[in-house]
């Protein structure tokens, strides 16, 4: 088992939650497909009565030697032929013909991938739902908490933390919608036989395919998709989209949690102290955010590999299909882990609104320069007002003074304001961050309403 998967040395970082994509999960998914196919063959009249139950009883991963199957896979390029032999040997002779009826190795592995994806998506969606609920709570609770907005990592105009959290919420909900669509519409069985014709089953092929889909609870595609990998790309892209959303949230938290900013902090992980350093006893690192980023940074390369592997030859690919297995497994594991970490992160995030206000006030009114320029624009003209406020900002920064003080008490700024008929009261009002939040409250309400509608539709 990989040390990055569940149970490995790094498993609790990169395989957090129920990331059901380990060797045992793969093996059980393949066996689930074989068992379902045997039941479908029996229902279609192609296998003896009781064959489906016999194969299903034998199709338990704990009855097979993963290491031996892996060794045998080197002889055929994939583990299915060896597994079929081993499974057949565990089924009573009268029922052995139901094993792998009409299928090829790719049918079994591709369908197993769909089963694993469904299981991972179910948990991933649950974790994203929890994260979205926490983000909604943060947006609602802090909709009036004014803070500095930052663009290009520099102080910009004021925003509210509620708006920041609403942005997180909208991103998560949009990722959920896309993943839910993939979960319900794009995970489908693969069943085409040697070259996509199901010739080995004669006229019964389409019926067995329909029964296999029914047994597994997966949609039946229009035709086999052996070398049409759009389903894989769509799944991978939806996972990558979710990872991108979670990575953005985690990056925001790492920036806002910096010692010099300290506007947010991760909550404690129960009685255990989380965030410590092996060298510095004082450290409180944002572990959940860092772990999310550790997961999501690996995702783009995996998506690129899967997209490159989609070019597959004629009826069956030579290598490109094989190249999908590991990156897709890793992508499912990492996206699932990032979602589990995100539910933890947002559920316990500590928000320091007093520090947000202190950081804003410490900027000496500079984040309000745009509003002041707008005030002066009517009297001086937009470009002249912009230039005046830019010069006042530079002087305020150099002298360590507030921009309001420079504008109202330093010549020639005060003289220009007086000539334009702009008094101190107007300047002070323009320097109030609470008066320059634009549509922030409206956007938060829209995000919360959209989230409410999504939750209502899902219930």
Residues designated catalytic: 277, 316
Secondary structure of the chain in the HEC alphabet?
CCCCCCCCCCHHHHCCCCCCCCHHHHHHHHHHHHHHHHHHHHHCCCCCCCHHHHHHHHCCHHHCCHHHHHHHHHHHCCCHHHHHHHHHHCCCHHHHHHCCCCCCHHHHHHHHHHHHHHHHHHHHHHHHHHHHHHHHHHHHHCCCCEEEEEECCEEEEEEEHHHHHHHHHHHHHHHHHHHHHHHHHHCCCCCCCCCCCCHHHHHHHHHHHHHHHHHHCCCCCCCCCCCCCHHHHHHHHHHHHHHHHHHHHHHHHHHHCCCCCCCEECCCECCECCCCCCCCCCCCCCHHHHHHHHHHCCHHHHHHHHHHCCCCCCCCCCCCCHHHHHHHHHHHHHHHHHHHHHHHHHHCCEECHHHHHHHHHHCCCHHHHHHHHHHHHHHHCHHHHHHHHHHHHHHHHHHCCCHHHHHHHCCCHHHHHHHCCCCHHHHHHHCCHHHCCCCHHHHHHHHHHHHHHHHHHHC
Tokens encoding 438? 């634009």
Query: Rounded to 5 degrees, what angle do the CA atoms 180, 186, 189 make?
Result: 130
Please name which of 71, 140, 160, 51 lies closest in space to residue 434, comparing C-alpha atoms. Answer: 160
């Amino acid at each position: 088992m990989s040390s990055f998967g569940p149970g490995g040395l790094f498993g609790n970082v990169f395989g957090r939650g129920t990331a059901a994509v380990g060797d045992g999960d793969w093996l059980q998914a393949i066996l689930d497909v074989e068992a379902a196919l045997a039941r479908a063959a029996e229902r279609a009249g192609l296998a003896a009565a009781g064959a489906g139950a016999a194969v299903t009883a034998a199709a338990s991963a704990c009855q097979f030697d993963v290491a031996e199957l892996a060794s045998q896979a080197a002889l055929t390029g994939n583990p299915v032929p060896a597994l079929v032999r081993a499974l057949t040997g565990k089924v009573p002779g009268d029922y052995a013909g139901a094993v792998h009826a009409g299928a090829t190795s790719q049918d079994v592995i591709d369908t197993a991938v769909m089963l694993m994806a469904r299981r991972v998506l179910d948990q991933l969606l649950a974790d994203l739902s929890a994260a979205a609920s926490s983000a909604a709570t943060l947006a609602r609770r802090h909709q009036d908490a004014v803070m500095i907005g930052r663009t290009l990592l520099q102080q910009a105009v004021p925003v509210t933390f509620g708006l920041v959290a609403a942005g997180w919420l909208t991103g998560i909900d949009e990722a959920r919608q896309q993943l839910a669509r993939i979960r319900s519409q794009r995970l489908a069985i693969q069943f085409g036989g040697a070259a996509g014709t199901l010739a080995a089953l004669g006229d019964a092929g389409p019926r067995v395919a329909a029964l296999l889909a029914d047994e597994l609870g997966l949609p039946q595609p229009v035709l086999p998709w052996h070398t049409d990998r759009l389903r894989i790309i769509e799944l991978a892209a939806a996972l990558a989209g979710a990872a991108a959303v979670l990575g953005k949230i985690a990056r925001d938290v790492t920036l806002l949690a910096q010692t010099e900013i300290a506007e947010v902090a991760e909550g404690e992980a129960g009685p255990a102290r989380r965030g410590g350093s092996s060298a510095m006893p004082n450290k409180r690192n944002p572990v959940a955010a860092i772990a999310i980023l550790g997961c999501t940074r690996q995702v783009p390369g995996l998506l690129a590999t899967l997209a490159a592997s989609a070019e597959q030859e004629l009826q069956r690919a030579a290598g490109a299909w094989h190249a999908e297995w590991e990156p897709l497994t890793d992508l499912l594991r990492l996206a699932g882990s990032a979602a589990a970490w995100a539910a933890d992160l947002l559920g316990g995030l500590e928000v320091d609104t007093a520090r947000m206000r202190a950081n804003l006030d410490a900027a000496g009114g500079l984040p309000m320069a745009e509003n002041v320029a707008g005030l002066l624009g009517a009297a001086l003209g937009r470009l002249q007002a912009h230039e005046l406020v830019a010069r006042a900002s530079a002087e305020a920064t150099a002298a360590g003074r507030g921009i309001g003080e420079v504008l109202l008490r330093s010549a020639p700024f005060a003289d220009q304001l007086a000539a334009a008929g702009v008094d101190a009261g107007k300047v002070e009002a323009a320097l109030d961050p609470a008066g320059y939040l634009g549509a922030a409250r409206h956007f938060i309400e829209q995000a919360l309403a959209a989230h409410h509608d999504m939750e209502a539709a899902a219930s």
